Chains A and B, each alone.
Chain A
C-alpha cells in the first residue's frame, strides 16, 4: 500500500504549485500523472487514496488522470528500442536479451487543470 504515500506526494505537489492563488476563485479540476508500466503502483488504489486526500482542499471533487508509459528496452547489440507493456526484455529487432531498461520507471506530475472565476467585481 505504498500508493497512499505516493498519492500524498501527488496532492501536496499539486497544491503547493497553485499556492498563493486566490482559492475562492480557483478550482483544481484535474491532476495528470505519468507512470511507467514497470512501476508496481495500482491505479485503483491511487484513485481511492486521491479521493480521501483531496477532501477539504481546493482539489476536492477533481479527477486524477494516470497516463501509463511503456517499458522500453534498448538493445546493447543493435541499439534498437523495443517498447512493451510487459517486463520481458528482448530486442524486437535482433532478439538479443542484452540491453538496458531505458523507459518504464517514470513517475511524475505532468500537469494541472484549473478553472478560474473570471467574473469582474466592481
Chain B
C-alpha cells in the first residue's frame, strides 16, 4: 500500500461563480444594474422596495426578484404597487445561488428595465457567501436588531456598497445607540454610505432613492 498526495487547487465556489459571470455578461449587455439586498427576516427589505415604487425621485424602471423559503407574500406586496416581480422559492435553502437568479433574470423584460433588485432570503450569514453577479450588495439592518451586528456578521458589512439602517422611527423607544452602530460599521467598512430611513414616517427615503438613482446611473451607464 502506498500513500500519495495529489495537489488540486480547485475553487469550491467555481460552479456558482460560472453562473455569476453569465449574469454579469447578461446585465452588461442589457445595460441593467443589479443590487442584492441582504438583511435579517423582518429587517424591512420589502418596505424599502415599496418606498422606491412610490417614490417620484428615482426616474428608473425596476423589477424585483423575491427570494424566500416559502410563500409569495412579499411578491404580492410589491405586485400591489405594480412592480414587475418574480418570486424565487429557495425550498428551504438559506440563500439564493447564481444559477437560480440567472434563470429568473432571463424571464424578465430586461430591455425595458434600468435595474433589478434581488431581495435575498432573510439571513445575515449565508447570502453574503454567494456571488450572484450583482453590481452591489446592500446590507439592510433594522434598529431593533442591536448595534453590534456589523461586527458579528462582518462578511456582509465588509462587502456591502451601502448600509441601510431601517425603522429609525422606533429609536425613541429603544436603547439602540445609532452612533455606536455606525462606528461598528466603520470598523469593517470605513467608507460605506450609511442611510438612515423609516418607511413609517418616510424619513431618509429620499436619500435611499437618491443612492439607488446614482448607483443605477454609475453602473448601467444610462
Q: Please, which residue of chain A has its CB at the minimum distance from the CB of B157?
A: A87
Contact with A along B110-154 (1 / 0, CB 8 A): 000000000000000110111000000000000000000001011
Are B1 and A110 within 8 A (Cβ)? no
Give bound CA distance, A114 to B94, whole Å: 34
A113-B4 contact, Cβ under 8 Å, with A39-B129, A40-B125, A40-B155: yes
Min distance, Cβ A93 to any Cβ of chain B, angstroms: 16
Give bound CA distance, A5 to B14, whole Å: 13
Contacts of A117 in B (CB 8 A): 1
Give bound CA distance, A17 to B3, whole Å: 16
Main SS of chain A's interface residues? mixed
Residue from B1, B2, B9, B10 having most chain A Cβ neighbours under 10 A: B10
Are B1 and A5 within 8 A (Cβ)? no
Contact with A along B204-218 (1 / 0, CB 8 A): 000000000000000
Contacts of B13 in A (CB 8 A): 9, 107
CB contact between B6 and one of A17, A90, A99 (< 8 Å): that residue: A17
B residues sitting closer than 8 Å to A (CB atoms) are 1-15, 93-95, 97, 125-126, 128-130, 151, 153-155, 158, 186-191
Give bound CA distance, A87 to B151, whole Å: 7
Main SS of chain B's interface residues? mixed
Are B3 and A10 within 8 A (Cβ)? no
Are A97 and B12 within 8 A (Cβ)? no
Q: Please, which residue of chain B has its CB at the minimum distance from the CB of A6?
A: B12
Min distance, Cβ A107 to any Cβ of chain B, angstroms: 5
Contacts of B11 in A (CB 8 A): 107-108
Min distance, Cβ A41 to any Cβ of chain B, angstroms: 7
Q: Please, which residue of chain B has its CB at the minimum distance from the CB of A14?
A: B8
Known: A18-B6, A41-B129, A108-B12. 11 other contacts (CB 8 A): A2-B93, A2-B95, A2-B125, A2-B126, A2-B129, A9-B13, A17-B8, A29-B3, A39-B129, A87-B154, A109-B10
Contacts of A101 in B (CB 8 A): 158
Q: Please, which residue of chain A has its CB at the minimum distance from the CB of B187?
A: A88
What are the 7 A-B residue pairs with the smallest beta carbon separation, nearest first? A87-B154, A2-B126, A97-B190, A109-B10, A112-B6, A107-B12, A40-B125
